[in-house]
């Protein structure tokens, strides 16, 4: 592994001008081996500047830390101006720390939900207590209080909240503001400490959290792209694909999150766990199908991180024991412990998952891969401090859980946890073989649609696999490829043995000798019609279908048409198709809606009473008054058209936001917890921004946990 | 004074009178002022009024004493002949006024007459502008202004020169507009269609050959005119499935839909067939519809009664069968050309219990198919097998014996049928009214005898190109109700047979003697005497016919079409016709070498209704031609190889005849006539056809001609 020896590690810090959002797990893991004073290449993400050149902005940003613009210019290695906004520079840890300090880029609002995507700012507001039954808009307005005029208060939506999206499934509030000015104001108004204090006397309790997965989601693709551009084959890639997934992964559990009722929620809790663990496993298995992807260093950092985390949990539990009296805090602490434990479990399982295929391979091939003994050797060293059970994976899990649960005696949630953990463990062994199929099934999709259920095999790829930019990786340098054939072409450069016709030939389909099994695919998004759990499940034909479906239906539309600036797409091919005819030959309805395809227009006209196709009047000769009337009409139409477009966009966003909302739903481990533990896991890393001991109390983990207090109220 | 109510009743009860005498001046008191009888040809109405008795000083008031109600009733009975109304309106001022208020239909010859006509006739509801080659937007606007509330129907089917603005002014202003015929408006675009869409009450719309109208236009019509009952989109090449589908979705009241030659596929058929009231559907020449498409359509139409799927090249018997199985209520089907009448197709007719009429022109027919068809159908009233190959005595006899109610039978060019068929036809189909058997050359005298003997109800008989002789003609004269008799190219017939016809068929209105060379003046004279209702006669190439024939034909005052190509007539004969037959509208005197300017002068003087004339090979010069310019109705003119004609004269008449719509000239004139004149005439709406036929000096004998034409057949 050439990249490993280069001693260059890249950490990513995502910065926006408003808020600091960090993918700290990434950086921490990558940083695990670097010393604080040593300069390392860092990728810094900043919000795309609107008014000035990106390069100048980057330099200005960096100069604030490095002292002068010259120093900044020297430090910068590359400016990312297209796929994302940011720069890479050689920075020391302290500089990174400084860079991410709030006094440079604004306040650091602990746990505020915020993600800067383009010019929009997404917020999520969790409503707890009496406001849960209120109209979300009303609740928001009341919470905002004096900032709104009475007129604004009366209208459905104040202007500044154009993109207000209503109540989400978990009775939270999701909204989006379109300009950063409003966002700033919101931050100033809402993110005062009083909103976060868990004062039981307060009328409303708003908890603001940052939807980490959204940011990591968005940035993961960017990052991987960037990293490939910059240094192909850095360990960072693996790091990226295994870890970012955590954020992106969890949404299934939340999409069907029940209203706060004790019995139901308990029942579902176990189920959630299942899906989660399964999905959690997915990325690692995918990655590990390629033997070389297994990284002992990564494993080590994972484990040490886990260890830290467990320490924290122990502390909390101890504190619970010591201060039994206060019921108020107890609930919060319980939630915290639950969340932390869940996270630990997931982390453990995924770590184990990275190993499993390797072990299998080792057993099969009799000669174990070179890296593996190293892992085995490394593991005990690291784990010996406290958790000597870690080595045999399955055992480790079980005993660890037991121990934790013992500590948790007073929590009252133990039974459920045990159940769900057992379930999740059981799932692990089941889910792996299923996933093994997925990678190979590229040629598929021959048959018609009306297959009777059961006549085909349903496979479900996981989100990371679907979103992974590459599915084929070079075994030698780790470079990723979209196509098998490209990989083979690439392999020729690694030596003569890859130039033989046999090596270059398409992998022969051994399946052809066997009776072909019809395979269909399921979307990993629970609740989607393409998900196998759905009542009217409609399978997807090919992996390509899965990819496109998932991107279109459950991902952000990140590609914007350069011509109309309004249409957004999540699949780049769609964008290209659109750009081919964007602005040309518009099909317009009398209501002003434009369509890019005639049949869509006619479907629209057929559906709505009184709508008619609008005729272009360019060819019509101007004569007489009637013409003017017509021209007037068309211009009116155009105006209406604009208006409609606008609202159409808004609804589009609503959709995407809904999805995001669901994404958000994973609340087992709050980003805060995540961060805190992360930083905590690295002793040499100075923790100035966050205070671990405080965060669990001020930030109740959301989602799963949020229904618990309500239950207790009932 | 006679009460007008009595008068009204008197007029009302007399169903059809030829002459109405208003006796306003006889002073004798009459106890029964209205003498009438139901079948009276003449009605005498006496007005023994005191005013009349007082007489003298103000005679003109006598007419005024007749109430408008009476005059309207009289006018109601004058519909048959336009000239009668003219005479009526010339009686006096009150009659004139009554006639202007009474008139509902207006057919102006030129749009220049429109302002005056609109001023005179304020309550016109049907405006037929099909004779006006050029109608401007301004003219249409004036129509829209003048007939604001009364106009119900407008016909622009042969007009040009207007744009969407004109149509819009009519559609917007005339709220009562129910019918628009815009056929042949090939330059009208979607804007015009959008204008039509503003006529909300439209029920009938013809858009045949509006090739520029696209789906967008038809979409506007579909949305705007939801009361449409009839829509003709024949040859609208810009319209596709989408437009038709939208029409079917929006215009639920459609009863008749003509989609002939429209490039539609089967995709729009489900929607069309689901129209709840659709009765008449024409899909002639829809080349994109094929068997598979038709089979894939699942919808049924219970209401459909008439289906025309002629000329659908890609539909075979399977497609037709599946289509027929979806339309159980069919009364009439036309599957002419490209249809193979097989057993399966014929048996699919079995489900159509209301089927009355089948047209299978030009199809491939088998005896077994015919037999199955005979068994499948309940009772056919109309059967057309013209140009069908494979029609045999056996098949035909079988089908006619099964369907005794047959009223119309077409076996044109079924060359294999003999007297046997005719025996069964005549014996079983006693109610036969219409028999076409052109070119059934095997039928002999016996067959004709049977026709004359048994088919007494026969009204139309086509025996063109049969082996008919005088004896046969004598037998046929037994069909006393005969109105139309076509016995062209029957070389064996002579005056003797024709005299029998003249004696036996007093109701004869149309007689075709084309190239029946045995006919002379005697026969024609007999016909003219025996058949006073004669309207159309074709004596072309009956070379023995001379001026005497014309003299006798001049007694037939109803004659409107006279074709005497190649006859030995002169100007004097033509003059007699012109004086006698005032209703003459079509005149063909090609190769009447002796007709010269004198004939033209008299023709122009008397035949003011002449619309169409063919003057090829005549000895007409500029003088005679210029005289024709005074015939204001003249629209259609063919002049090839007229020796005395100069280009200047031709140019003069082209300019002088304002109403010309179509002129056929020899191409040698094209460069000789000044271009501005041609352009001017074309701008008025005239179409030029330049022909380059060689000059034929001699007429070939009919036998030779027939030989040649039969050789061409083979």
A256 against A509, higher pLDDT: A509
- What pLDDT score does A581 carry? 72
Check if the beta carbon of residue B252 is closer than 8 Å to that of residue B276: yes
Beta bridge partners of B689: B664
Cβ(B205)–Cβ(B178) below 8 Å = no
Q: Is the pLDDT of residue A112 over 70?
A: no
User: For chains A and B, what is the number of CB pairs under 8 angstroms?
Assistant: 64
Is residue A15 within 8 A of residue A44, CB to CB? The reply is yes
| Residue A650 clears pLDDT 80, i.e. is over it | no
CB contact under 8 A, A623 and B165: yes
Interface test with A, best of B214, B216, B246, B274 (most A CBs within 10 A): B216
Query: Is A624 touching B (CB cutoff 8 A)?
Result: yes
Task: Give the nearest chain A residue to B164 (CA atoms).
Answer: A620
Cα separation, B591 vs A290, in Å, equals: 96
| Optimal mutation site among A600, A615, A618, A625, interface B, most CBs of chain B within 10 A | A615
Token pair in block for residue B175: 């709220």
Q: Which of A110-114, A532-536, B97-101 has the highest mean pLDDT?
A: B97-101
Q: Could A602 and B243 be called an inter-chain contact, meaning their C-beta atoms sit closer than 8 Å?
A: yes
Q: How far is B195 from chain A (nearest CA, A)?
A: 9
List, in order, residues 6 or more apart from B381 with CB less than 8 Å away.
B356, B357, B405, B406, B407, B408
* Residue to test with chain A: of B138, B165, B187, B188, most A Cβ within 10 A: B165
DSSP B433-463: -EEE-TT-TT--HHHHHHHHHH-TT--EEE-
pLDDT of amino acid A339: 76
- Integer Cα distance of A410 and B643 in angstroms: 124
B393-420 mean pLDDT: 92
The confidence band for A32, taking pLDDT boundaries of 50, 70 and 90, is very low
Mean pLDDT value across residues A588-597: 83
pLDDT tens digits for range B219-264: 999 999 999 999 999 999 999 999 999 999 999 999 999 999 999 9
Measured in angstroms, the CA of B202 and the nearest CA of chain A are apart by: 16
Q: Is B167 on the interface with A (CB under 8 A)?
A: no
Mean pLDDT value across residues A355-362:
50
Distance from CA of A669 to the nearest CA of B (A): 53
Question: CA A199, A200, A204, A206: dihedral to nearest 10 degrees?
Answer: 50
- Output the CA torsion sign for B538, B543, B545, B550: positive
Residues from chain A that touch B249, judged by Cβ atoms under 8 A, are 606
Residue B610 to residue B612: CA distance in whole angstroms: 6
> What are the beta bridge partners of residue B306?
B280, B332
Instruction: For A122-178, write each residue's pLDDT tens digit.
Output: 444 443 334 444 454 555 555 544 343 344 444 443 444 433 333 333 334 444 444
Which residue from A587, A606, A623 is facing B137, i.e. has the nearest CB? Answer: A623
| Chain A contact present for B225, CB below 8 A | no
Going A547 to A548 to A552 to A558, the CA torsion angle's sign is: positive
Predicted pLDDT at A175:
47
Q: What percent of chain A is modeled with pLDDT above 70? A: 33
pLDDT band at B712 (very low <50, low <70, confident <90, very high): low
pLDDT bucket at B161, cuts 50 / 70 / 90: confident
pLDDT at residue number A691: 40
User: Is B400 a residue whose pLDDT tops 80?
Assistant: yes
The reply to whether A610 touches chain B by the CB within 8 Å rule is yes
Highest mean pLDDT among A390-404, B23-37, B304-318: B304-318
Instruction: Name the residue with higher pLDDT: A623 or B453.
Output: B453
Q: Hey, is the C-beta of B193 within 8 angstroms of any chain A C-beta?
A: yes
Please judge whether A624 and B216 are an interchain contact, meaning their C-beta atoms are less than 8 angstroms apart.
no
Tell me the shortest Cα–Cα distance from A603 to chain B, in angstroms. 8
Count of positions (residues) in chain A: 714
Chain B CA closest to residue A600: B242
- Distance of residue B216 Cα from the nearest chain A Cα, in angstroms: 6
Strand pairing category for B561-563 and B536-538: parallel
Question: Angle formed by the axes of helices A414-438 and A393-407, to 10°?
Answer: 160
Q: At residue A3, does pLDDT exceed 60?
A: no
**Minimal CA separation from A115 to chain B, in Å:** 44
DSSP structural state of residue A242: I
Q: What is the pLDDT of residue A394?
A: 43
Phi, psi of A589 (to 5 degrees): -95, 160
**pLDDT computed for residue B570 by the predictor:** 92
Measured distance CA(A75)–CA(A99) in Å, rounded: 13
With b meaning 16 or more CB within 10 Å and e meaning fewer, what string describes B530-549? bbeebbbbbbbbbbbbbbbb
- Position A54 scores a pLDDT of 75
Residue B281 C-alpha, separation from nearest chain A C-alpha, in angstroms: 21
- Higher pLDDT residue, B670 or B1? B670
A587, A610, A626 ranked by CB distance to B169: nearest: A626
Q: Is B168 on the interface with A (CB under 8 A)?
A: yes
Higher pLDDT, B253 or A83: B253
Once rounded to an integer, what is the mean pLDDT over residues B666-695?
89
Indicate whether A190 pLDDT > 70: no
> pLDDT at residue A360 above 50?
no
Chain A residues near residue B245 by CB distance under 8 angstroms: 602, 606
Listed residue (B654, B599, B647) closest to B626, CA to CA: B654
Highest mean pLDDT among A200-214, A543-557, B491-505: B491-505
Hey, is the C-beta of A127 within 8 angstroms of any chain B C-beta? no
Residue B69: per-residue pLDDT: 83
CA nearest neighbour of B528 among B571, B493, B576? B576
Q: Which residue of B has its CA nearest to A590?
A: B220
Q: Give the strand pairing for B42-46 and B34-35.
A: antiparallel
Residue A34: other Cβ atoms inside 10 A: 20
The phi, psi pair for A339, rounded to 5°, reads: -65, -45
Asked if A24 and A679 count as a contact pair (C-beta separation under 8 A), the reply is yes
- Tell me the pLDDT tens digit for each residue of A447-459: 445 666 667 778 7
Q: For residue A166, give the H/E element and its range.
A: strand A163-167
Highest mean pLDDT among A544-553, B16-25, B334-343, B365-374: B365-374
Residue B359 phi/psi, 5° resolution?
-115, 120
Option in A587, A606, A621 nearest B249 (CB): A606
B557: nearest Cα among B574, B580, B539: B580
Does A151 contact B at CB distance below 8 Å? no
The mean per-residue pLDDT over the stretch A92-110 comes to 52
Q: Using 50, 70 and 90 to split pLDDT, how confident is the model at A421?
A: very low
Count H helices and E strands in chain B, helices first: 30, 29
* A612 part of contact set with chain B, CB < 8 Å: yes
Which of A10-14, A240-244, B57-61, B392-396 comes out lowest in average pLDDT? A240-244
Q: Are B673 and B648 in contact (CB under 8 A)?
A: no
CB-based contact, A619 to chain B, within 8 Å? yes
* Rounded-to-integer distance, Cα B694 and Cα A479, Å: 83
**Share of residues in chain B with pLDDT > 70 (%):** 90
Mean pLDDT (chain B, rounded): 86
Task: For residue B272, list chain A residues with Cβ-Cβ distance below 8 A.
Answer: none
CB contact under 8 A, A602 and B246: yes
Range in A185-189, B292-296, B678-682 the model is least confident about: A185-189
The pLDDT assigned to A618 comes to: 54
CA-CA distances (angstroms) from residue A303 to A25, A291, A350, A395? Answer: 13, 20, 11, 15
Tell me the longest C-alpha to C-alpha distance in chain A.
93
What chain A residue is nearest to B170 in terms of C-alpha separation?
A626
A599 touches chain B (CB under 8 A): yes
Whether A620 and B164 lie within 8 Å, measured CB to CB:
yes
Closest CA to B191 of B218, B170, B222: B218
| Cα→Cα distances B226→B176, B196, B223, B239, B253, Å | 14, 12, 6, 18, 8
Q: CA triplet B166, B171, B172: central angle to 5 degrees?
A: 100
| Test the A interface: residue of B173, B223, B244, B251 with most A CBs within 10 Å | B223
Contact assignment for A612 to B219 by CB distance below 8 Å: yes
Q: Does an H or E element contain B292, and which? A: helix B291-296
- By Cβ distance, the residue of B163, B165, B217 closest to A615 is B217
**% residues pLDDT > 90 (chain A):** 0
What are the CB-based long-range contacts (under 8 Å, 24+) for A144-151?
A144/A189, A144/A190, A145/A189, A147/A185, A147/A189
pLDDT category of residue A306 using cuts at 50, 70 and 90: confident
Put simply, the answer to whether B165 touches A627 (Cβ < 8 Å) is: yes
In whole angstroms, what separates CA A72 from the centre of its chain? Answer: 31
**Is A189 within 8 Å of A203 (Cβ atoms)?**
no
Task: Check CB contact under 8 Å for B191 and A620.
Answer: yes
Q: Is A627 on the interface with B (CB under 8 A)?
A: yes
Residue with tokens 């040649």: B708
Residues of A in contact with B168 (CB under 8 A): 626, 630
- Per-residue pLDDT at A550 exceeds 60: yes
CA distance B388 to A1: 85
- Give pLDDT, residue A551: 84
Q: Which residues of B touch A626 (CB under 8 A)?
A: 165, 168-169, 172
Q: Which of the pair, A73 or B484, is modelled with greater confidence?
A: B484
The DSSP code sequence of B92-135 is -HHHHHHHHHH--EE--SSGGGHHHHHHH-TT--EEE-TT-SB-
Question: Is residue A535 pLDDT above 90, yes or no?
Answer: no
SS3 content of chain A, % helix, strand, coil (to 5): 55, 10, 35
B502-541 pLDDT per residue, tens: 999 999 999 999 999 899 999 999 999 999 999 999 999 9
Residue with tokens 């089907």: B333
* Structure tokens belonging to residue B2: 């006679």
The whole-number pLDDT of residue A125 equals 45
Q: Which of A600, A602, A618, A621 to mutate to test the interface with B (most CBs of B within 10 A)?
A: A602
More confident residue, A83 or B513: B513
Contact flag B169-A605 (C-beta cutoff 8 Å): no
Of B172, B194, B243, the CB nearest to A615: B194
Q: Does A618 touch chain B (CB under 8 A)?
A: no
Considering the entire predicted model, what is its pTM? 0.56
Which of A429-438, A607-616, B499-508 has the largest mean confidence? B499-508
First-to-last CA distance in chain A? 58
A514 CB within 8 Å of a chain B CB = no
Interface membership of A200 toward B (CB under 8 Å): no
Round to whole Å and give the CA distance between B73 and B79. 11
């Amino acid at each position: 592994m050439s990249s490993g020896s280069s001693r260059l590690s890249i950490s990513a810090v995502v910065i926006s001008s408003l808020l600091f959002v960090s993918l700290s797990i990434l950086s921490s893991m990558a940083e695990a081996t670097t010393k604080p004073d040593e300069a390392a290449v860092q990728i810094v993400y900043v919000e795309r500047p609107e008014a000035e050149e990106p390069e100048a902005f980057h330099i200005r940003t960096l100069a604030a830390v490095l002292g002068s613009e010259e120093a900044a210019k020297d430090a910068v290695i590359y400016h990312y101006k297209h796929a994302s906004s940011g720069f890479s520079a050689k920075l020391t840890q302290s500089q990174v720390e400084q860079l991410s300090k709030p006094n440079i880029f604004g306040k650091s609002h602990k746990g505020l939900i915020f993600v800067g995507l383009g010019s929009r700012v997404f917020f999520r507001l969790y409503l707890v207590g009496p406001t849960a039954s209120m109209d979300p808009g009303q609740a928001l307005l009341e919470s905002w209080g004096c900032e709104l005029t009475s007129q604004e208060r009366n209208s459905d939506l104040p202007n500044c909240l154009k993109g207000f999206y209503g109540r989400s499934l978990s009775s939270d509030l999701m909204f989006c503001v379109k300009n950063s000015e409003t966002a700033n104001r919101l931050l100033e108004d809402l993110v005062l400490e009083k909103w976060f204090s868990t004062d039981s006397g307060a009328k409303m309790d708003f908890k603001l959290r940052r939807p980490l997965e959204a940011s990591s989601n968005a940035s993961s693709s960017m990052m991987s792209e960037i990293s490939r551009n910059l240094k192909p084959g850095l360990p960072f890639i693996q790091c990226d694909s295994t870890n970012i997934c955590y954020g992106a992964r969890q949404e299934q559990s939340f999409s069907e999150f029940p209203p706060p009722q004790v019995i139901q929620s308990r029942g579902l809790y176990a189920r959630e766990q299942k899906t989660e663990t399964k999905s959690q496993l997915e990325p690692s298995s995918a990655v590990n199908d390629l033997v070389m992807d297994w990284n002992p260093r990564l494993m080590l950092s994972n484990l040490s991180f886990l260890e830290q985390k467990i320490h924290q949990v122990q502390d909390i539990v101890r504190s619970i024991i010591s201060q039994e009296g206060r019921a108020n805090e107890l609930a919060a602490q319980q939630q915290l412990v639950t969340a932390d434990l869940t996270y630990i479990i997931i982390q453990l399982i995924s770590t184990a998952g990275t190993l499993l295929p390797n072990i299998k391979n080792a057993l099969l091939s009799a000669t174990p891969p070179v890296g593996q003994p190293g892992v085995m050797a490394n593991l005990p060293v690291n784990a010996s401090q406290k958790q000597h059970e870690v080595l045999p994976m399955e055992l480790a899990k079980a005993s660890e859980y037991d121990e934790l649960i013992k500590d948790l005696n007073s929590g009252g949630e133990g039974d459920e946890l045990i159940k769900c953990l057992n379930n999740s463990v059981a799932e692990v062994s089941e889910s792996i073989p299923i996933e093994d199929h997925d990678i190979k099934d590229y040629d598929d999709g021959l048959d018609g649609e009306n297959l009777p259920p059961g006549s085909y095999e349903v496979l479900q790829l996981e989100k990371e696999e679907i979103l992974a930019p590459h599915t084929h990786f070079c075994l030698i340098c780790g470079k990723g490829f979209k196509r098998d054939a490209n990989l083979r072409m690439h392999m020729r450069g690694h030596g003569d043995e890859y130039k033989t016709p046999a090596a270059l030939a398409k992998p022969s389909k051994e399946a052809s000798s066997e009776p072909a099994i019809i395979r269909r695919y399921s979307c990993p998004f629970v609740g989607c019609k393409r998900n196998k759990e759905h009542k009217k499940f409609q399978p997807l034909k090919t992996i390509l279908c899965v990819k496109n479906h998932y991107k279109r239906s459950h991902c952000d539309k990140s590609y914007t048409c350069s011509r109309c600036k309004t249409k957004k797409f999540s699949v780049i091919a769609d964008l290209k198709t659109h750009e081919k005819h964007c602005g040309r030959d518009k099909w317009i309805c009398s209501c002003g809606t434009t369509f890019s395809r005639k049949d869509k227009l006619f479907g629209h006209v057929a559906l709505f009473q009184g709508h008619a196709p609008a005729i272009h009047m360019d060819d019509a000769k101007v004569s007489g008054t009637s013409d003017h009337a017509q021209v007037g009409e068309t211009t009116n139409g155009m105006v209406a058209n604009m208006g409609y477009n606008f609202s159409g966009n808004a609804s589009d966003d609503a959709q995407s936001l809904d999805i995001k909302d669901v994404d958000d739903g994973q609340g087992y481990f709050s980003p805060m917890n995540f961060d805190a533990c992360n930083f905590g896991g690295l002793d040499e890393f100075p923790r100035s921004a966050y205070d671990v001991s405080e965060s669990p109390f001020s930030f109740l983990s959301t989602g799963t946990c949020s229904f618990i207090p309500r239950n207790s109220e009932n | 004074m006679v009460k007008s109510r009595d008068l009204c009743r008197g007029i009302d009860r007399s169903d059809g009178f030829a002459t109405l005498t208003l006796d306003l001046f006889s002073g004798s008191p009459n106890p029964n002022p209205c003498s009438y009888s139901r079948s009276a040809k003449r009605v005498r109405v006496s007005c023994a009024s005191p005013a009349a008795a007082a007489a003298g000083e103000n005679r003109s008031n006598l007419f005024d004493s007749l109430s408008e109600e009476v005059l309207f009733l009289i006018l109601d009975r004058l519909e048959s002949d336009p000239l009668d109304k003219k005479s009526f309106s010339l009686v006096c001022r009150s009659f004139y006024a009554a006639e202007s208020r009474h008139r509902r239909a207006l057919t102006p010859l030129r749009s220049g007459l429109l302002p005056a006509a609109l001023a005179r006739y304020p309550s016109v509801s049907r405006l037929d502008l099909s004779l006006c080659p050029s109608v401007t937007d301004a003219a249409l606007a004036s129509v829209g202004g003048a007939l604001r509330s009364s106009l119900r129907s407008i016909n622009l089917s042969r007009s040009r020169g207007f744009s969407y603005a004109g149509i819009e002014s009519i559609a917007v202003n005339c709220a009562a507009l129910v019918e628009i015929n815009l056929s042949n408006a090939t330059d009208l675009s979607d804007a015009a269609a959008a204008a039509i869409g503003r006529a909300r009450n439209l029920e009938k719309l013809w858009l045949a050959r509006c090739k520029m109208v696209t789906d967008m236009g038809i979409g506007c019509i579909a949305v705007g005119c939801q009361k449409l009952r009839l829509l003709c989109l024949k040859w609208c090449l810009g319209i596709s499935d989408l437009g038709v589908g939208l029409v079917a979705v929006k215009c639920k009241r459609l009863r008749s839909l003509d989609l002939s030659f429209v490039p539609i596929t089967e995709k729009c058929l489900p929607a069309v067939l689901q129209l709840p009231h659709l009765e008449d559907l024409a899909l002639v020449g829809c080349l994109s519809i094929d068997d598979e498409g038709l089979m894939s359509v699942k919808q049924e139409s219970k209401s459909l009664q008439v289906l025309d799927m002629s000329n659908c090249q890609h539909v075979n018997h399977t497609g037709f069968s599946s289509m027929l199985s979806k339309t159980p209520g069919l009364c009439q089907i036309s599957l002419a050309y490209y249809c193979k009448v097989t057993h399966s197709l014929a048996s699919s007719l079995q489900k159509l219990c209301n089927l009355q009429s089948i047209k299978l022109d030009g199809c491939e027919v088998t005896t077994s198919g015919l037999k199955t068809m005979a068994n499948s159908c309940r009772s056919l009233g109309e059967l057309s097998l013209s140009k069908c190959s494979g029609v045999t005595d056996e098949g035909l006899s079988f089908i006619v014996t099964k369907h005794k109610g047959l009223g119309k039978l077409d076996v044109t060019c079924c060359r294999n049928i003999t007297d046997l068929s005719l025996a069964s036809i005549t014996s079983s189909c006693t109610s036969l009214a219409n028999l076409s058997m052109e070119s059934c050359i095997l039928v002999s005298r016996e067959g004709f005898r049977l026709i004359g003997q048994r088919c007494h109800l026969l009204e139309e008989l086509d025996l063109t190109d049969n082996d008919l002789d005088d004896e046969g003609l004598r037998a046929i004269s037994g069909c006393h109700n005969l109105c139309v008799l076509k016995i062209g190219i029957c070389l064996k017939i002579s005056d003797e047979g024709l005299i029998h016809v003249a004696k036996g068929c007093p109701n004869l209105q149309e007689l075709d003697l084309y190239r029946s060379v045995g006919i002379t003046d005697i026969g024609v004279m007999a016909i003219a005497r025996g058949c006073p209702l004669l309207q159309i006669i074709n004596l072309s190439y009956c070379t023995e016919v001379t001026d005497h024939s014309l003299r006798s034909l001049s007694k037939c005052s109803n004659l409107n079409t006279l074709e005497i190509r190649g006859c030995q007539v002169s100007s004097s004969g033509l003059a007699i016709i012109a004086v006698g037959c005032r209703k003459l509208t079509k005149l063909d005197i090609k190769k009447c070498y002796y007709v010269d300017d004198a004939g033209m002068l008299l023709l122009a003087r008397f035949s003011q209704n002449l619309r169409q004339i063919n003057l090829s090979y005549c000895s007409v010069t500029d003088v005679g031609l210029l005289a024709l310019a005074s015939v204001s109705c003249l629209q259609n003119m063919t002049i090839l190889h007229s020796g005395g004609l100069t280009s200047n004269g031709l140019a003069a008449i082209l300019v002088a005849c304002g109403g010309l719509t179509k002129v056929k000239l020899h191409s040698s004139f094209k460069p000789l006539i000044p271009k501005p004149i041609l352009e001017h005439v074309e701008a008025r709406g005239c179409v030029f056809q330049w022909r380059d036929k060689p000059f034929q000096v001699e007429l070939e004998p009919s036998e030779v001609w027939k030989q040649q034409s039969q050789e061409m057949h083979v």
